[in-house]
C-alpha cells in the first residue's frame, strides 16, 4: 500500500519570499512518480510539478522546484518569489507505474501568502 | 479543448434519493477516475476505468456505481444517498501508464441532508 504524509497543515510566507512544503511517502515499488497539485479556492486541481522516481535530477517548473530524496522517501516543494496567486492548498501525491495508475494523496498543506 | 467536464457543480440531495454525476472528457484519454474529497483530507479513489467497458473498484466504492460505455463518458451513480456521501467529487482522466498526469474536472459539491 502507498502512503503519503504531509506534516504541515498550514504554512505562511511573505510575498516574494521562498517557502518549502514537506512531503514524505512510503512505497515498496521501484517504478513510481510523484506529483504536487495545487488547489486554489476555486477548487480546481492543478498540476504543479511531476518527478520520475528513476531520475536523480530534481524537477523544476519556473518558480517551483522539488527536492527529491529517494532514499529518505522525501519529496518537498520549494516555491521561490512567492506571489499572491500561489495561495492555495497543496497536495503531494504518488503514482505507481502499474495497474490502475491511481494517485495516492496526502492530506494537504494550506499556504497563505502575506502581502 | 474543454478538458474534463463535470456536471452539476453543486447539488443537494435528501437521504435515500439517487442521482448521477456526469463526467466527460474530450482528450481521448483511456483512463478515467472518480475521487472524493472530504474536508481536511486528500482525494480518495472511488472507481476507475482503463477503457470503454472496463471498470473496477478503488478504495471507497461502497454506495456507488459506474459505467463506461464510451471513451468520453464516465458517470458515477449514487443509488441511496447517505449523509456520509456528503463530499466534493472529482473526475479525472489520463492517457494511461507511464506516470501520465491526471487532468481533473472542476468538481461537484454534493450535500446529503
State whether B42 and A52 contact (CB < 8 Å): no
Contacts of B107 in chain A (CB under 8 A): 43-45
pLDDT at B1 over 70: no
Q: Is residue B112 situated within a structural domain? A: no
Kindly report the length of chain A.
115
Mean pLDDT of A8-20: 98
Average pLDDT along chain A: 94
pLDDT of residue A96: 86
**Phi (first) and psi of residue A88, to 5 degrees:** 180, 175
Domain containing A92 equals 3-114
pLDDT at B15 over 80: yes
Count of domains for chain A: 1
In angstroms, the CA B53 to CA B78 distance is: 19
Mean pLDDT of B46-52: 95
Distance from the Cα of B101 to chain A's closest Cα (Å) equals 8
Question: DSSP for chain A?
Answer: --EEE---SEEEEETTS-EEE--EEE-S-SSEEEEEEEE-TT---EEEEEEETT--SPPEETTEEEEEETTTTEEEEEE-S--GGG-EEEEEEEEESSTT--EEE---EEEEEE-
Average pLDDT along chain B: 94
Count of domains for chain B: 1
Q: Is residue B59 situated within a structural domain? A: yes
Query: Any idea what the CATH number is for the domain that residue A57 is in?
Result: 2.60.40.10
DSSP class of B30: S
Q: Is residue B104 situated within a structural domain? A: no
Amino acid at each position: 500500500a502507498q502512503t503519503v504524509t504531509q506534516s504541515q497543515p498550514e504554512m505562511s510566507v511573505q510575498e516574494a519570499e521562498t517557502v518549502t512544503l514537506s512531503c514524505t511517502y512510503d512505497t515498496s515499488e521501484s517504478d513510481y512518480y510523484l506529483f504536487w497539485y495545487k488547489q486554489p479556492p476555486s477548487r480546481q486541481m492543478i498540476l504543479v510539478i511531476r518527478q520520475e522516481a528513476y531520475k536523480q535530477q530534481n524537477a523544476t517548473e519556473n518558480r517551483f522546484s522539488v527536492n527529491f530524496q529517494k532514499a529518505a522517501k522525501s519529496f518537498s516543494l520549494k516555491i521561490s518569489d512567492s506571489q499572491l496567486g500561489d495561495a492555495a492548498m497543496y497536495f503531494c501525491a504518488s503514482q505507481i507505474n502499474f495497474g490502475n495508475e491511481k494517485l495516492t494523496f496526502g492530506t494537504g498543506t494550506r499556504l497563505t501568502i502575506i502581502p | 479543448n474543454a478538458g474534463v467536464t463535470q456536471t452539476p457543480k453543486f447539488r443537494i440531495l435528501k437521504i435515500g434519493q439517487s442521482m448521477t454525476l456526469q463526467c466527460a472528457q474530450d482528450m481521448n484519454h483511456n483512463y478515467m477516475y472518480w475521487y472524493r474529497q472530504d474536508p481536511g483530507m486528500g482525494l480518495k479513489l472511488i472507481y476507475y476505468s482503463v477503457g470503454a467497458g472496463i471498470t473496477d473498484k478503488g478504495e471507497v466504492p461502497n454506495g456507488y456505481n459506474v459505467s463506461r460505455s464510451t471513451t468520453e463518458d464516465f458517470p458515477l451513480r449514487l443509488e441511496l444517498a447517505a449523509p456520509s456521501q456528503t463530499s466534493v467529487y472529482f473526475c479525472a482522466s489520463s492517457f494511461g501508464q507511464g506516470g501520465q498526469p491526471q487532468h481533473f474536472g472542476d468538481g461537484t459539491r454534493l450535500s446529503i441532508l
